[in-house]
Amino acid sequence: MAMNDSVVRPIALGLRGLHVPHTASVYEALVLAILGQQISSHVARTVRTLLIQTYGPSAHVTGTTYYAFPRPEAIVAAGVDGLRAIKFSLRKAEYVVGIAEKVASGELDLEGLKCQPDEVVIQRLIDIRGVGLWTAQWILIRALGRTDGFPHGDLALQRLLGLLVNGGPPLSPEEALEHSRRWSPFRSYVTTYLFAAARSGRFDSLSRAGQFGP
């Protein structure tokens, strides 16, 4: 599919061997997705690092400290005030602590979503306070390894597609979703390639060179 697509082909050729990064658990992916809502990737990485290093378990090996993602119980113990202290907004802190409480008590079985079809996963996720369609689509990609997730509400993705499709304004969410149908059932991979190309600067260089087709 990539080799026969004018948009994906030049990106895929330059990023051969790229893998879709996955989190260790659905819980971790959900917390990180909420953390990253409506903020830049740079700010999200900073807050993620603070979360992990402040509340995650650690191990010291030959002079280096390694951290794991905080367990739900640790986030419950930190509470809203603890998350606010490491730059979470009040609303996001409330969402994350609420999810951690339900996971820790067994009320919320996020790992059980791995056995469910995409449509069921999305519906169950958006029933959780603080989770919308954008977040649910990222969970399909980053936690469940589904091949056809596509967060069409992502502003950065809309901007990239706008440059690819018409060389200008971002696409609307509806336009992005419609354009993505050409890549189904591999939209998770296309999403990963587009963001990897943007982060590496390859997207801009290819765009300037006019290597993207209509």
Q: Is 159 helix (H, G, I), strand (E, B) or coil?
A: helix
Q: Write the DSSP string, 122-139.
A: HHHHHTSTT--HHHHHHH
| Domain extents in the chain | 2-20+150-208, 26-142
Whether residue 153 contacts residue 133, with contact meaning beta carbons closer than 8 Å, is answered with yes
According to the model, what pLDDT value does residue 41 have? 84
Closest Cα partner for 91 from 22, 147, 20, 39?
Answer: 39
According to the model, what pLDDT value does residue 213 have? 47
According to the model, what pLDDT value does residue 35 have? 94
Which one-letter amino acid corresponds to residue 148? D
Name every residue whose Cβ is closer than 8 Å to that of residue 194 and which is 6 or more positions away in sequence: 11, 157, 160, 161, 203
CA angle 9/187/69 to nearest 5° reads 115
Whether residue 52 contacts residue 70, with contact meaning beta carbons closer than 8 Å, is answered with yes
* Predicted structure pTM score: 0.86
Per DSSP, 181 falls in state G
According to the model, what pLDDT value does residue 206 have? 65
Q: What confidence tens digit (pLDDT) does each residue in 91-143 have?
A: 999 999 999 999 999 999 999 999 999 999 999 999 999 999 999 999 999 99
Residue 211 clears pLDDT 60, i.e. is over it:
no
State the CATH architecture for 26-142. Answer: Orthogonal Bundle (1.10)
Residue 208 clears pLDDT 70, i.e. is over it:
no
Q: What CATH number belongs to 2-20+150-208?
A: 1.10.1670
- Cα separation, 9 vs 11, in Å, equals 5
